[in-house]
Amino acid sequence: MTPVAKVKSSAWASSILHADMDAFYASVEILGDPALAGKPVIVGGTSSRGVVTSASYEARKFGVRSAMPTTHARRICPGGIFIQPNFGAYSEKSRQVRSVFDSFSHVVEPLSLDEAFLDLESAARMWPNPPTLAEALKDQVYRRTGLVVSVGVAPNKFLAKLASKQAKPDGIVIVAPGRIEEFLNPISVRGLWGVGEQTANVLERLGLRTIGDVAAIPAGTLERAMGSVGLTIAQLARGNDRRPVTAEAPCKSMGAEETFEQDLVEESQIARALLKLSDRVASRLRAHGVSAQTITVKVRFANFTTTTRSHTLRHEIDNTAGIYETAVKLLGRLALSRTRIRLLGVSASKLSEWPASVQLGLKGLPGWSRVDKAVDQVRMRFGESALGFGSFLDWRD
DNA sequence: TCTGGGGTCCTAGGACCC
DNA sequence: TCTGGGGTCCTAGGACCC
C-alpha cells in the first residue's frame, strides 16, 4: 500500500481518483448467493469456447485469470464454481456504485461497469486530504452496495489507474507529485496504457522492460521506432498525461457478435445467425434512439483468421430488415461456400441521433419492438423467401 | 490452454473534389 | 498530353482496453 504521502489540500485539488471494483462480476454473484462467499467463483462463458470474465480471489489463488479459456480454468481449478454472466445484475449494481461516485465528484468518467475516474477538484473543498477522501469513498461504496472497491489517487489519469491496480485488493494507493518516478520506474512496460502484447514485444527487442527503461531514452527514438504510439508511451513513461476527466462521450458504434459452439457451415444456419445479430443491433439502436449509416459484418473462420466487410448506406437505418439485408450483401462478397465459420458479427456505425420529434412520435407507438420480433418468427419458420424485403417492412424508413 | 463480447483509436490506400 | 497538392470520405486491418 505504498507509497502514501501527505499532500497539502491546495496541492491536490487537481488530483484524479481512479476507482476499480474488486472482482466485480464474481462479487455481485456472491452478494446474490451468500453461500458462495469464500469459494472460488468463476464468472464466464460456460460453453466449450467460453472465457473467464471475472474470478474471485479464492479462484485466483489457483491461477485463474480473466480472458483465460474456461476449459483451462476448469482444469487448474477443479473445485471452481462456474457461473454464466448476468449482465443485467451487473449493470444494476454498477448504477448503485455510480451514484456513490457522483456524490463525491461533479465530474465522473465511467470506463466500464466496474471502474471510473473522478476529478477531485470539487471534492478538495470537502475533504482534508486524499487518504481521508479515499477511505470515505470505499466506506460508502461498501455500505450502499456491499461491494469492495480499490482506489488510486494521483496527479493524472494514467498514474491514478496504475495506483488503483497496485491497491488491489481492498486498498488505497496515493501517488504524491514528488514521488512519481519512484512509483513508476520499477513497473513493467505492460503497465503503460496502450502497450499490449505486440508493443511489449517491440519494446523488449529494444531492451526495454520497465517504465524506467522507457523513460531513460529520448522520445524521438521511440517515435522513429514505433510511430505515434512511441511518442505517447514516451510521455506516459515520464508520468505525463494531460487527458482531462470528461463525462461520457456519445458512443460511435454498436454491434453484436457470437462465437458458435460449433462452427457454422450450412447457408441456412449462417442466414439465421446473421438475422439474430441484425435484430440485436437494431433493437439496441432503437433503445438508444440512434440510427446508423454504416453496417459492418465480421467473420472469423475456423482457423481464427478474421475479416470484415462494411458498407455505407445513403440513408440512416435502425431496423432489423435493413441491417439484415445489408449484412447479407456484405457476406455475399466473401466467397464462403463450405467454409467453417467460428464467429459472426454485425455492427452499426456512423451513428446519429434522430430528430427529437421523430423519436417522441415513434417510441410512443404500441408494438414498436414487436414488429421486428414478428418478422423474425415468420422468417425462422418459413425461411427468407416468405418475406419480401422492401415491402411492408420499409414503412418505418 | 486455445483463444468472448463490448468497444475505441490508428494507419494506409484509393476515390473523388477543387 | 502529362500531371500538382491538399482535403475528405470510405474501407480493411490491427492493436488495444475492460
Residue predicted with more confidence, A336 or A95? A95
Mean pLDDT, range A135-154, rounded to an integer: 98
At A10, is the pLDDT very low, low, confident or very high (cuts 50, 70, 90)?
Answer: low
Q: How far is the CA of A222 from the C1' of B10 (A)?
A: 17
pLDDT of residue A388: 38
Asked whether the beta carbons of A347 and A256 are under 8 A apart, the reply is yes
Q: What is the largest CA-CA distance in chain A?
A: 72
Least confident residue range of A16-20, A218-222, A368-372 = A368-372
A99, A153, A161: which is closest to A131 by C-alpha?
Answer: A153
Strand B and A71 CB separated by under 7 Å: yes
Q: How far is the CA of A17 from the C1' of B11 (A)?
A: 33
Q: How many helices (H) and strands (E) in chain A?
A: 16, 12
pLDDT of residue A273: 98
Alpha-helical runs (H) found in A16-156: 24-32, 57-60, 70-76, 87-102, 130-145
CB atoms within 10 A of CB A74: 14
pLDDT of residue A7: 54
Strand order in the sheet with A52-55: A52-55, A41-44, A81-83
Asked whether the beta carbons of A209 and A122 are under 8 A apart, the reply is no
Cα(A177)–Cα(A184) distance, integer angstroms? 12
**pLDDT tens, residue by residue, A197-241:** 999 999 999 999 999 999 999 999 999 999 999 999 999 999 999
Strand C and A352 CB separated by under 7 Å: no
Mean pLDDT, range A340-368, rounded to an integer: 73
Asked whether the beta carbons of A298 and A370 are under 8 A apart, the reply is no
CB atoms within 10 A of CB A176: 20
Q: Find and list the nucleotides of strand B having atoms within 7 Å of a protein beta carbon.
A: 1-12
Q: Does residue A1 have a pLDDT over 70? A: no
Residues 6+ apart with CB under 8 A from A266: none
At A248, is the pLDDT very low, low, confident or very high (cuts 50, 70, 90)?
Answer: confident
Q: How far is the CA of A335 from the C1' of B18 (A)?
A: 39
Alpha-helical runs (H) found in A146-289: 157-167, 180-184, 197-205, 211-215, 219-226, 228-237, 267-287
Cα(A251)–Cα(A239) distance, integer angstroms? 29
Strand C and A199 CB separated by under 7 Å: yes
pLDDT of residue A382: 44
Mean pLDDT, range A163-184, rounded to an integer: 97
Q: Does residue A374 have a pLDDT over 60? A: no
**pLDDT tens, residue by residue, A99-111:** 999 999 999 999 9
**pLDDT tens, residue by residue, A115-142:** 999 999 999 999 999 999 999 999 999 9
pLDDT of residue A142: 98
